[in-house]
C-alpha cells in the first residue's frame, strides 16, 4: 500500500511540473521580448496595396517603426456594375499590410479623413493592451490619434476598426493584417501575397446593379450577399490573378475579416506544404484545406511543380462560385509528366 501511495504522489508531482513548465517558458519568452532594445533611426512603414505587401524584415535589428493609416469612407466597386460605400484603412479593402518584427516599437498614427461621417479607431490583435489600441485611437473626422506599442508576440494578426457599432465598421471593410516576424525573419520564399476574405451584406441581391446599401437584417442573420477576397468579387481573377513560376515557393498571408463566417481556405490542385496554424508559431504540414476563423489568420506555403491555373477558394463552395470568394494563381513553366500527365 505504501508503495502505491508513493507512486501516485510521484505521478502527481510530475503532472504538476508538466503544467507549470509551459507557463514558465511563456513568461520567460515574454520577458525576453519586452527586453529587446531598439536601435538606429526610426523607419516609416511602406504603404503597398494588396495583394502585394512590404518586403521581408530579414535579420535587421529591432527599431522604432512609424505606421500611418487613414480611415476613409468612399464608394468603390464591389462587383461588375455594383458599387458600395466602403469604410477603409488607406483606401483599400483589406487595409495596408503592416510588417514589423518582434521587439519593434511602433508609433501608430490613425487619421480620419475630413469628409468622413463616422468616428473610427483601430484594434490590433497583435497589441497587448486595452482594446488592442482602440481606446487610444478613437478619432473624429478630420482629426488624428497616435499611440505606441511594443511587438511582443510573433505571428500574423488581424486588425480592424472597433468603433461603435463594431459589426458595421467591419462589415463595411475596415480590417487588415499585421505580421510580427520572429527575430531573424521568416524563411525565404520566392513570392508572397496578401489575401483577405470578408463578407458584404447588401439590400439588393448578388450582382444586382447600382449603388447598394448595407442590410442590417442580413448581417444579424449571417446571410451575406457577397463573400469575397480582397474587397471585391473576382478581385484576384483575370488580369489581377496572382502569378508564380514552376519550382517557386509561394507564401500566402491569409486573413479573415468576417464579420461572421469561418473560411475553409483551399487552393484547388495544390497541397499546403506548411501552414502556420491560426497565424501562430505552430506549423502543420501537408494540409489540403485550412480553417480560418473570423478575426483570425493563417500563413500557408507551397511549392508549385506544374504549370497551369490554380483556383483559390473558400471551400464552402457556394461562396466561391456564387458569392465571389474565388481567385487564381497562374503558374508558368515547363510541364513535368512525372508529376501530372493527361493520358487520353
Is the pLDDT score of 75 beyond 70? yes
Query: Which tens digit of pLDDT belongs to each residue from 136-156?
Result: 999 999 999 999 999 999 999
Residues recorded for the chain: 344
Parallel, antiparallel or unpaired: strands 249-258 and 226-229: unpaired
- Separation of first and last alpha carbons in the chain: 74
Closest among 278, 286, 290 to 315, alpha carbons compared: 290
- What is the band of 227 on the pLDDT scale with cuts at 50, 70, 90? very high
**Is the Cβ–Cβ distance between 178 and 237 less than 8 Å?**
no
- What is the band of 59 on the pLDDT scale with cuts at 50, 70, 90? very high
pTM score over 0.75: yes
C-alpha cell at 89: 484603412
Of 21-35, 38-52, 74-88, the least confident: 21-35
Query: Which tens digit of pLDDT belongs to each residue from 230-271?
Result: 999 999 999 999 999 999 999 999 999 999 999 999 999 999
Instruction: Quote the pLDDT of residue 30.
Output: 54
C-alpha cell at 249: 515557393
Average pLDDT over residues 110-134: 97
Instruction: Quote the pLDDT of residue 72.
Output: 98
Query: Which tens digit of pLDDT belongs to each residue from 286-340?
Result: 999 999 999 999 999 999 999 999 999 999 999 999 999 999 999 999 999 999 9
d(CA 227, CA 329): 19
Amino acid at each position: 500500500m505504501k508503495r502505491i501511495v508513493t507512486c501516485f504522489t510521484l505521478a502527481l508531482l510530475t503532472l504538476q511540473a508538466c503544467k507549470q513548465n509551459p507557463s514558465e517558458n511563456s513568461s520567460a519568452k515574454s520577458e525576453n521580448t519586452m527586453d529587446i532594445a531598439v536601435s538606429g533611426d526610426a523607419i516609416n512603414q511602406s504603404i503597398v496595396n494588396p495583394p502585394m505587401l512590404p518586403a521581408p524584415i530579414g535579420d535587421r535589428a529591432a527599431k522604432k517603426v512609424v505606421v500611418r493609416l487613414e480611415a476613409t469612407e468612399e464608394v468603390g466597386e464591389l462587383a461588375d456594375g455594383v458599387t458600395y460605400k466602403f469604410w477603409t484603412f488607406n483606401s483599400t479593402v483589406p487595409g495596408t499590410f503592416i510588417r514589423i518584427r518582434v521587439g519593434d516599437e511602433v508609433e501608430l498614427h490613425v487619421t480620419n479623413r475630413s469628409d468622413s461621417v463616422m468616428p473610427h479607431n483601430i484594434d490590433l490583435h497583435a497589441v497587448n493592451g486595452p482594446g488592442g489600441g482602440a481606446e487610444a485611437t478613437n478619432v473624429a473626422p478630420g482629426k488624428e490619434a497616435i499611440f505606441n506599442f511594443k511587438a511582443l508576440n510573433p505571428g500574423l494578426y488581424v486588425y480592424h476598426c472597433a468603433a461603435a457599432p463594431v459589426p458595421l465598421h467591419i462589415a463595411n471593410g475596415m480590417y487588415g493584417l499585421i505580421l510580427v516576424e520572429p527575430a531573424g525573419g521568416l524563411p525565404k520564399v520566392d513570392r508572397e501575397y496578401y489575401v483577405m476574405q470578408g463578407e458584404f451584406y447588401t439590400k439588393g441581391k448578388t450582382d444586382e446593379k447600382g449603388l447598394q446599401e448595407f442590410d442590417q437584417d442580413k448581417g444579424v442573420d449571417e446571410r451575406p450577399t457577397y463573400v469575397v477576397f480582397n474587397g471585391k468579387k473576382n478581385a484576384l481573377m483575370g488580369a489581377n490573378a496572382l502569378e508564380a513560376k514552376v519550382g517557386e515557393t509561394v507564401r500566402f498571408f491569409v486573413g479573415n475579416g468576417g464579420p461572421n463566417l469561418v473560411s475553409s481556405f483551399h487552393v484547388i490542385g495544390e497541397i499546403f506544404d506548411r501552414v502556420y496554424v491560426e497565424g501562430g508559431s505552430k506549423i502543420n504540414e501537408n494540409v489540403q484545406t485550412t480553417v480560418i476563423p473570423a478575426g483570425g489568420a493563417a500563413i500557408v506555403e507551397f511549392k508549385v511543380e506544374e504549370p497551369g491555373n490554380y483556383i483559390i477558394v473558400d471551400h464552402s463552395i457556394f461562396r466561391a462560385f456564387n458569392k465571389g470568394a474565388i481567385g487564381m494563381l497562374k503558374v508558368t513553366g515547363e510541364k513535368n509528366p512525372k508529376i501530372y500527365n493527361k493520358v487520353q
